[in-house]
């Protein structure tokens, strides 16, 4: 029994477990609220549960709050967190735009779904490290809970409003855990984050894209496209060798048909792919598809050899797409002064001899 992870349990599961050990049903609801809504980090903080019940409960669950080992704050309000998991692995997540006046209370967290990643994209710090393990449901949800707990110490009303699965790892290769985490984050008696305010970003796991549309049609989808020709994309995003562009675009069409939502296509521009002929290839690939293009200048990661394009190159690239009627957003980067590209903080940390900054 003791290997049940408290933060990964649905309300129904808690009810079943509580009833199985002779506790009243409402105890399960209280427990769920302490964990998922109030984001407490210890059994002792669950004040209305009573000592005897707490003792019984704590012997039936594992409760692993994440250990904050480093927090960095950017000048633009972005905060980056490095957490240590109970087995010593570390993951990163980012709270974007935490500046009330600037953003009118839109608080987005970028979550990790795996330790490392098996896909190995050419520009990505996480990909360089290879795959270590999947995150559990409790560890995915825990990133939101522990950031919330940390920020609430200075701002008691703080509430996360949006989630993007754009941290470390490929969410659709940890599908069941990610989907259950989404249900928990959406729960009425938890963080109540709207389904339509959560977005999964993927390198293109085609069968899972279609499954996602059927299982949870309200969640947003972002495709890490980065190249519009198979020979270029094979190099940048190796997932393309398994699911080439034709099958990926077909899956996107199916997703759009089922969900009636647009897809976001992410394009990280380097000095290489920001060329005019690449832009034309994007036009050929995307014309007629219901989507937006998000242009992001690549964040150069040591060891990848990728270089940032000039702002002139980015403007020209965007112009070619716009002239063809494609909606383009040039996403400003956030937190570049704090290594906020996915996997960079972890790499820095692992290469230094660091001490934790203490519990949150
Ligand atoms: N594995 C998923 C989600 C995590 S990566 C995916 O690949 O979609 C989130 C986004 O950051 C992806 O679009 C990814 O391609 C992009 N990214 C990774 N490293 C980057 C870098 N160094 N510069 C700019 N974007 C990067
Ligand atoms: Fe994995 Fe995404 Fe990084 Fe590619 S960009 S290696 S899929 S985390």
Q: Ligand 1: distance of its center to the CA of 242 in Å?
A: 18
The span from the CA of 184 to the CA of 71, in Å, is 25
The residue whose CA has the least distance to atom 4 of ligand 2 is 121
What percent of the chain has pLDDT above 70?
89
Q: Ligand 2: distance of its center to the CA of 325 in Å?
A: 29
pLDDT tens digits, one per residue of 197-245? 999 999 999 999 999 999 999 999 999 999 999 999 999 999 999 999 9
Tell me the whole-structure pTM to 2 decimals: 0.92
pLDDT of 358 strictly over 50: no
Among 112, 203, 226, 240, residue to substitute to test ligand 2 (most atoms within 8 Å of Cβ):
203
The span from the CA of 139 to the CA of 181, in Å, is 9
Q: Ligand 2: distance of its center to the CA of 216 in Å?
A: 22
Closest ligand 2 atom number to CA of residue 125: 3
The residue whose CA has the least distance to atom 12 of ligand 1 is 224
Helices (H), 130-222: 137-152, 175-186, 206-215
The span from the CA of 160 to the CA of 192, in Å, is 9
Counting ligands in written order, the one closest to the CA of 336 is: 1
282 with 293: CB under 8 angstroms? yes
Q: Which residue in the list 18, 117, 121, 342 is annotated as catalytic?
A: 342
Closest ligand 1 atom number to CA of residue 344: 22
Cβ contacts of residue 130 below 8 Å, gap of 6+? 116, 117, 118, 120
204 with 224: CB under 8 angstroms? yes
Degrees to nearest 5, angle at CA 154 with 165 and 33: 60
Ligand 2: residues with CB < 6 A are 117, 119-121, 124, 126-127, 168-170, 203, 224, 342
The span from the CA of 289 to the CA of 76, in Å, is 34
pLDDT of 273 strictly over 70: yes
Among 116, 117, 201, 340, residue to substitute to test ligand 2 (most atoms within 8 Å of Cβ):
117
Q: How confident is the model at residue 105 (pLDDT cuts 50, 70, 90)?
A: confident
pLDDT at 300: 87
Ligand 1 within 6 A of CB of 341: yes
pLDDT at 347: 52
pLDDT tens digits, one per residue of 279-298? 999 999 998 888 889 998 89
pLDDT of 101 strictly over 80: no
Q: What are phi and psi of 347, to 5 degrees?
A: -65, -40
Q: Which residue in the list 18, 67, 92, 170 is annotated as catalytic?
A: 92
Report residue 304 CA to chain centroid gap. Answer: 22
Question: Residues 43-63: what's their mean pLDDT?
Answer: 93
Question: Residues 143-160: what's their mean pLDDT?
Answer: 95
Counting ligands in written order, the one closest to the CA of 223 is: 1
161 with 30: CB under 8 angstroms? no
pLDDT of 277 strictly over 70: yes
Q: How confident is the model at residue 359 (pLDDT cuts 50, 70, 90)?
A: very low
Rg (CA), the chain: 21
Domains recognised in the chain with CATH numbers: 4-62 (1.10.150.530), 65-202 (3.20.20.70), 221-337 (3.20.20.70)
């Amino acid at each position: 029994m003791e290997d049940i992870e408290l933060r990964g349990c649905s309300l129904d599961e808690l009810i079943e477990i509580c009833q199985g050990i002779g506790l009243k049903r409402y105890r399960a609801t209280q427990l769920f609220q302490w964990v998922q809504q109030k984001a407490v980090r210890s059994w002792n903080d669950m004040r209305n549960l009573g000592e005897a019940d707490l003792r019984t409960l704590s012997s039936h669950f594992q409760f692993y709050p994440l250990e904050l080992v480093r927090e960095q704050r950017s000048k633009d309000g972005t905060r980056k967190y490095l957490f240590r998991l109970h087995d010593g692995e570390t993951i990163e997540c980012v709270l974007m735009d935490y500046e009330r006046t600037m953003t009118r209370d839109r608080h987005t967290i970028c979550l990790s779904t795996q330790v490392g990643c098996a896909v190995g994209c050419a520009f990505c710090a996480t990909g360089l490290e290879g795959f270590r393990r999947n995150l559990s449901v409790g560890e995915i949800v825990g990133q939101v809970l522990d950031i919330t707990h940390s920020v609430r110490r200075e701002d008691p009303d703080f509430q996360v409003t949006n989630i993007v699965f754009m941290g470390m790892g490929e969410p659709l290769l940890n599908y069941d855990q990610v989907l259950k985490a989404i249900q928990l984050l959406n729960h009425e008696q938890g963080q109540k984050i709207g389904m339509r305010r959560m977005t999964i970003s993927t390198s293109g796991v085609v069968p899972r894209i279609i499954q996602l549309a059927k299982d949870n049609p309200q969640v947003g989808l972002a495709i890490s496209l980065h190249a519009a020709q198979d020979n270029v994309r094979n190099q940048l995003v190796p997932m393309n060798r398994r699911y080439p562009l034709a099958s990926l675009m077909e899956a996107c069409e199916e997703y759009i048909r089922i969900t009636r939502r647009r897809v976001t296509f992410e394009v990280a521009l380097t000095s290489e792919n920001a060329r005019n002929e690449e832009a034309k290839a994007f036009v050929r690939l995307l014309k007629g598809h219901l989507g937006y293009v998000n242009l992001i200048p690549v964040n150069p990661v040591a060891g990848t050899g990728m270089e940032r394009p000039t702002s002139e190159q980015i403007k020209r690239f965007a112009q070619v797409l716009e002239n063809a009627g494609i909606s383009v957003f040039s996403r400003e980067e956030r937190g570049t002064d704090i290594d906020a590209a996915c996997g960079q903080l972890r790499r820095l940390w692992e290469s230094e001899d660091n001490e934790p900054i203490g519990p949150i």
